Structure 1
Amino acid sequence: MPESWPAPSVPRLPGTGRPPELYDSASQGRVSARPAGETARLYVCGVTPYDATHVGHANTYLAFDTLQRVWLDAGFGIHYTQNITDVDDPLLERATATGVDWRELAAGQIQLFRDDMTALRALPPHDYVAVTEVVDEIADAVATLIDAGVAYRVPTPDSAEDDVYFDTAAATRIGPWHLGEESNLSRDVMLALFAERGGDPSRQGKRDALDPLLWRAVRDGEPSWSTTVGRGRPGWHIECSVIALKHLGPDFTVQGGGADLLFPHHEFSAAHAASLSGHPLAEVYSHAGLISYQGEKISKSLGNLVLVSQLRQRGVEPAAIRLALLAHHYRAEWEWTEEGLHEAELRLAAWRGIRADDDAASADDVLDTVRERLADDLDTPGALAAVDDAAASGVDDPQLIGALVDALLGIEL
């Protein structure tokens, strides 16, 4: 298993916060994200390592970093798992275009991602799992789905092996999952998103245009493994199903990721997991909003990327990057600007200048407000505003403000 990154220290605060409420994409309403036991179980989909880490990535991982900090403050333990999609079409295409071996490209981008997460003081996953480490386990899961009648083989003209697809209709009949339930989208919208986000609705031989690929048969020039379902490599969605079930089990607390993963990735990851385990994948499905830059959603295909590593290289303090992201609600869609980054730098300087004043605001009251804001669907703008007020007026205990900002917002003053 790849190493994740060093864990930042998290100060202990007086008292105890409360478990958070989150917006659940599946039910489209607010629900309690209180863990069923003493430990919160969290899965956040990791990067495909060929253009890491832009600020859209950072926004997602800091959203679920905030969630972990709220859980810790409420007295819960955390079991956090994240995957690395270190073999997939976009990575292979980039490797071919740049003339770099795909394994070398992935290794370099994974290390860059680690460095960025370390700089941003994100809490690391306990299980940091590369897809290439669990190919045999994924293949065995695909074989199980075939045997259960929810997957089928499709002959492949350019391979001696068969591709394997998930049978969405069969899965809907036998499992605790229904197509569209997590996304509440029309079929026409699902087909468009499926085509845009890695699916192949026009593939001949499929039983339904929305059936997703579970296993890609070997093709010339592509990496492949000999497994129980033949020679090839995993499809995209099944990797997260298998990794999550292995490390977290079914019905874990929160499945997290960017809003662009809601459909088809999280929809089908949930479907595969339900077919394998007989239980829902997660209790809550939570999604971070997408960030724009120069008038367009940040996209690797468009190339309008703002990379955390480039910001750091030009001397921007990681704490300011973090504050620029936390200034927006995690579910909001907004545009990254230099003005916003500058405002974050000014905010950071003001927080570091908080003065002691026995007659000014109570630091305990600030802590209570920050806790309430973060428990309310991770309202980081509200939490930042409470600290802004303390910076403007002074407080009776600046050290407590420094500790709460560190523990709950990940900002070391």
Structure 2
Amino acid sequence: MHAWPASEVPALPGQGRDLRIHDTATGGLVTLDPGPVARIYVCGITPYDATHLGHAATYNAFDLVQRVWLDTKRQVHYVQNVTDVDDPLLERAERDSVDWVALAEKETALFREDMTALRMLPPRHYIGAVEAIPGIVPLVERLREAGAAYELEGDIYFSVESDPHFGQVSHLDAAAMRLLSAERGGDPNRPGKKNPLDPMLWMAARPGEPSWDGGSLGRGRPGWHIECVAIALDHLGMGFDVQGGGSDLAFPHHEMGASHAQVLTGEFPMAKAYVHAGMVALHGEKMSKSKGNLVFVSQLRRDGVDPAAIRLALLAHHYRADWEWTDDVLRDAVARLDRWRAAVSRPDGPPAEALVEEIRDALADDLDAPTALAAVDRWAAAQEEHGGTDTAAPGVVSRAVDALMGVAL
């Protein structure tokens, strides 16, 4: 599966900062010090509907991570999956009387268009669940051989008790885990499971549903968590720098994935930091496909909204914060974009070197984009009020905003 084209990232003078970021597993800030190549895995979409602003906010956060790392002159090895076979996708295809493969391909193509328009840097490897099946099957077989998996009516489950570190990503109690498992794709009430929290690794073929040859597992399809584990281990290995996604993935998805990987390899932890973006709400409730309260990036673009304004609307909120999309949020972003473009269009302005360092400092401090925006706002206001004599300054500001925040002025 191919990703989307990369926009050029301008090189800036000086030296970027090492990233300090909030790690869900430890509950505090950690300073990441990757080697020459920083490694990041971000969980991708289940393509049964278009990219909404909750998606965009998540991928914007991890785009900032990449940009901070690139500014330190590191390379970035970024991997993202596409869950292109799963119950929600099959249910939507049946509801709309369309082929599930065609639906997945259509929505993945639209996602690529949205990411390109928003200038999100693409992953080096963009892998679908279906194409990962040949690598998933051997992992499930290994877990079963190690006694960490068991069969129930043809389905294969992972035993969470096989991992002594289970629970150390989300730090939830058993009751909270059971509740979230039921809400987020698990089946804690299924009779016969060794532990209600045990997640499915391999679902035996169901009538009328797609299935693949699973070797000794029989025909079926993979569970959600093992999909990401297989892709991450194949392309990044254990101990990669950041496992990222929305805050709703901390449990069960990232907790279960970590346990799968740790039992498979005997190493701990799977990732050095588990980083989670906040949720975006509309009309008082989290945007979700199940509720149908979505604002789509593609629709905003069709309505003539500049993608740079959409990106500024996302950047106006700290990535870990839960926030609500309103008409005022978009209106403020459009006005900010107009002010910034007017400021950098003048032939000269106030010196900008200190501004570049302010942006670097803010983003390296747990991706504090609102503080970075405020710094550019002050420079633009000084430009409008007093002007300046530095002919290089507008270009410096334009390149810095592009390189570090992905906004083209």
TM-score class, shorter: over 0.9
CA distance in 2 between counterparts of 1:307 and 1:189 reads 31
Q: Is the 8 A contact 2:151 2:157 kept in 1?
A: yes
- Per-residue deviation, 1:39: 0.5
Corresponding position: 1:38 with 2:36:
yes
SS of residue in 2 equivalent to 1:301: coil
User: In structure 1, what is the equivalent of residue 18 of structure 2?
Assistant: 19
CA distance, structure 1, for counterparts of residue 78 and residue 265 of structure 2: 20
Q: Percent identity?
A: 56
Give TM-score, length-normalised by structure 1. Answer: 0.95
Q: Name which of 39, 53, 56 aligns with 1:55.
A: 53
Q: Deviations over 1:51-108 (max 9, x none)?
A: 1200000000010001100000011110000000000000001011110110000000
* Letter aligned with residue 330 of structure 1: Y
Match of 1:102 in 2: 100
Q: Deviations over 1:137-172 (max 9, x none)?
A: 1111100000011000011xxxxxx10000111222
Written as runs of structure 1 = structure 2, the 5 A alignment for 1:66-81 is: 66-81=64-79
The equivalent of 2:221 in structure 1 is 233
Q: Separation in 1 of the partners of 2:162 and 2:118?
A: 44
Post-superposition shift, 1:357? 8.3
Residue in structure 2 matched with residue 189 of structure 1 by the alignment: 176
Distance in structure 2 (CA, Å) of the matches to 1:93 and 1:142: 26
Deviation by residue 1:3-47 (Cα, 9 ceiling, x = unmatched) = 100000100001111111000000000001221x10100000000
- SS of 1:407's equivalent in the other structure is helix
TM-score (norm 2): 0.96
Distance 2:210 2:264 in 1: 26
1:217 to 177, 181, 204: 204
* Alignment match, 1:167: 159
2:306 paired with 1:307: no
Deviation at 1:350, TM superposition (A): 0.3
Q: Distance in 2 between matches of 1:283 and 1:122?
A: 23
Q: What amino acid is aligned across from residue 102 of structure 1 in structure 2?
A: W
Aligned residues: 399
Off by >6 Å, runs of 4+ in structure 1: none
Q: Cα distance, 1:314 vs. partner? A: 0.5
Which residue is equivalent to 1:348? 337
| Structure-2 separation of matches of 1:384 and 1:5 | 27
- The answer for the alignment partner of 1:411 in structure 2 is 407
RMSD: 1.0
Residue of structure 2 in register with 1:9 after alignment: 8
Residues 4, 116 of structure 2: 8 Å contact kept:
yes
2:194 to 193, 207, 211: 207
Query: What CA distance in whole angstroms lies between the structure 1 residues aligned with 2:143 and 2:224?
Result: 15
**Partners of 1:192 and 1:260 in 2: how far apart?**
13
Q: Structure 2 counterpart of 1:181, which letter? A: Q
State which of 120, 123, 134 in structure 2 corresponds to 1:122.
120
Unpaired segments ≥5 residues, structure 2: none
Alignment correspondent of 1:158: none
Paired with 2:62 and 2:140, the residues of 1 have a C-alpha distance of 30
Q: What do residues 289-332 of structure 1 show as CA deviations (whole Å, max 9, x unaligned)?
A: 00100111101100000000000011001000000000000000
Q: CA deviation at 1:362?
A: 2.3
Q: Does 1:256 align with 2:244?
A: yes
Are the equivalent residues in 1 in contact too, given 2:355–2:376 (CA < 8 A)? yes
